Amino acid sequence: MLDGITSNLERYMDLLSARQKTVASNIANADTPGYKTQDIDFQFEFMTLAKGEQPQVIQTPGLADKSDGNNVNLDQQARLLSEDQMRFNLASVLVKGQLKTVQEAIQGGNTA
C-alpha cells in the first residue's frame, strides 16, 4: 500500500516541482526577446517517466508572439504557478495521510 500510492504521489510532486521550475523560468524571461514559453507534457510524463529521470521540455503551442518574438503570457503563467502550488499542497497532505496510516498500523492503533 505504501509503495503504490506514495511513490505515485512522490512522482507527482517531482513533476510539479519540475513544472514549477519551467514556470519560474518563463516568468523570469517574460521580457527576453525571442524567448518561447516552455512547459512539460504533464500527463505524458506522469505515465511514462521512470523515477529520477528529468522530464522533457516542450514549447507551449498556440501562443501569440509579441513584437520582439517573445510569447510568454504572464497571466497564464500566474495561473499555472498557483495551480501547481495548490496541487503540490494537496499531494503533500495526501502523503502525510499515508505516512500517518502506516504509523498507526505500527502502533497498533494506539495513536494516543
Binding site for other proteins (CB under 8 A): 13-14, 16-18, 20-25, 27-33, 35, 38, 40, 54-55, 57, 74, 77-78, 81-82, 84-85, 88-89, 92, 95-96, 99-100, 103
Smallest distance from other proteins to CB 63, Å: 16
Nearer to other proteins, 64 or 85 (CB): 85
User: SS in 3 state form for 23-85?
Assistant: HHHHHHCCCCCCCCCEEECHHHHHHHCCCCCCCCEEECCCCCCCCCCCCCCHHHHHHHHHHHH
For residue 16, the minimal CB distance to other proteins (Å) is 8
